Amino acid sequence: MTYFSKALMIAAVLGMAACTNGNRFSDADAAGGYGAGAGANGGIVPGSASDPASPAYFNQTIGDRVFFAVDQSTLSPQAQATLDAQAQWLMTNSDYLAVIEGHADEQGTREYNIALGARRANATMEYLVSKGIASNRLRFISYGKERPVEVCAEEACYSKNRRAVTVISMGLGS
């Protein structure tokens, strides 16, 4: 990523933050058009999901997460396809680091689920390493069942909670 595009991205993020603050503290400010410049160039907005080099693109277009069967940590063909694309992105955007967060659904005891989430995150990390991502750009952590994204008590929710999420961050050296 060039210095210029990074700078643009940071500006866009700051713009959005300003907009959020404006909304929070004063409706009049928001109405006054905070952040109006962000989408002005009509095409690819640096830092937005339409910019293939952006974390937003990684999260939304490639997909930042893979899902697992009950009490399992093996990667399905669909999960592997997502991780292939994640690996490709990480190869291209080599300034970024990633933390892989492993999670479990609530149908398990707390300690076991921490260990199970670690298995899932580690399986994900090892797959990315096998696709050529340097292991020193990756690390993992497990949240067990502490951070569900869906809260219903049905398989439709549980299946979304049994996940490993690749969280992108800017490297310290960049």
Binding site for other proteins (CB under 8 A): 71, 73, 106-112, 114-116, 118-119, 122-123, 126, 139, 141-143, 146-153
Measured from the CB of residue 64, what is the shortest distance to other proteins in angstroms? 16
Half-sphere exposure of 134 (CA within 13 A, CB side): 10
State the residue for tokens 């399992």.
72
Half-sphere exposure of 52 (CA within 13 A, CB side): 7
In this structure, are residues 142 and 102 in contact, taking their beta carbons and an 8 Å threshold? yes
- Of residues 14 and 149, the one with the C-beta less far from other proteins: 149
Measured from the CB of residue 83, what is the shortest distance to other proteins in angstroms? 16
- Of residues 31 and 115, the one with the C-beta less far from other proteins: 115
Measured from the CB of residue 50, what is the shortest distance to other proteins in angstroms? 28
- Of residues 9 and 138, the one with the C-beta less far from other proteins: 138
In this structure, are residues 15 and 37 in contact, taking their beta carbons and an 8 Å threshold? yes
